[in-house]
Structure 1
């Protein structure tokens, strides 16, 4: 397969606009995407910088708007916890300060337990009947970004046996020691 030709600034701009039309992206994601379409080296970096500046000036690329929208959608639609959204935004290249500011504002008045219960309801997860199901629910909630204190609180309200909870403690200790 023949490699795609390197793009000049206007070609790269058109490419970037089409990519942004398909879905919203962060500046870091756009830079990674454009990297393959320019010649390697300092000239390619200059073309990327100029293109990113132009896209930002036209209002098509804004990490603050991206972070706010992403956080709101993950919280309202997916019912994800604060930790998950923070991790996802960091992986997408949003700056630490912007992530903390956005998440702080979005999750300030959110009750994590209520959100975790909504997540369980959305995923149609019911009360566990044995240790294996309890561990599965714990993993699902940790993956969704909820704190272990909230998870244990929910499991205790479901009257999960103390043996199951202590087994989870052992699993958790094994994972943190690795």
Structure 2
């Protein structure tokens, strides 16, 4: 087939035209490095290799861009790249490579994310376990990461902080008490944990 035209597109892509018909969009840098120009012959294997290299480069670039802004778990990063920039295979390969280079570390991510959820957002450990699982952190790793946080100690301290900052009138106002209990349960605390801190409050 003949490369009849190559036109720039948004997001650093180049639209190829093959035998006068629109073909695949290729990463512009990959296209420039190929040194192809209109009028050149392009075989199926050469085109396939070009598409694969474009996909791999876009996956790497997107993965690095995402990591520059914040840390990610490996599964989270793979899914984001596959959803927005590249094929699933290329996204997985990019994540594997970044993990090999030490730029992607699920254990370090889990420790940092759990600390943020517990100390800044005041989540209970049940909710933290759910959030770590959602990010693709294995259960055994999550339990190791959460081991330093005493279930009852962190729960009591965080419940008291949430009550004092958001529901200061819970002792005087029944509606505020009920909202506080519901909110704390959404944060991942059991009714028993909440009731113990609130002095045996019964909202039934």
TM-score normalized by structure 1? 0.74
The residue that corresponds to 1:38 in the other structure is: 86
How do 1:1-178 and structure 2 match up within 5 A? 5=25, 7-36=54-83, 37-39=85-87, 44-45=88-89, 47-107=90-150, 110-156=153-199, 160=201, 165=202, 167=204
Distance 1:69 1:107, change over 3 A: farther
| Inter-CA distance 122–60: structure 2 relative to 1 (3 Å threshold) | farther
- TM-aligned CA deviation for residue 31 of structure 1: 1.2
Larger strand proportion, structure 1 or 2?
2
SS at match of 1:28: helix
Contact 2:79 2:91 survives alignment (8 Å) = no
Task: Give distance in 2, aligned partners of 1:126 and 1:57.
Answer: 52
Normalising by structure 2, we get a TM-score of: 0.66
**Distance in structure 2 (CA, Å) of the matches to 1:19 and 1:111:** 31
Shift of the alpha carbon at 1:119?
Answer: 2.4
Structure 2: how far apart are the matches of 1:111 and 1:74?
12
Q: Is the 8 A contact 1:80 1:119 kept in 2?
A: no
**Paired residues, number:** 155
Higher relative contact order (CA closer than 8 Å, sequence separation 6+) = 1
* Structure showing greater Rg: 2
Query: Cα distance 1:16–1:119, how it changes in 2: closer, same or farther (>3 A)?
Result: same
In 1, are the aligned partners of 2:114 and 2:128 still within 8 Å (CA)?
A: yes
The structure with the greater share of residues assigned to helix is: 1
Q: Counterparts of 2:179 and 2:203 in 1: how far apart (Å)?
A: 15
Q: How far does residue 109 in structure 1 lie from its aligned partner after superposition? A: 8.1
- How many angstroms apart in 2 are the aligned matches of 1:124 and 1:166? 15
* Alignment gaps of 5+ in structure 2: 1-9, 14-24, 27-53
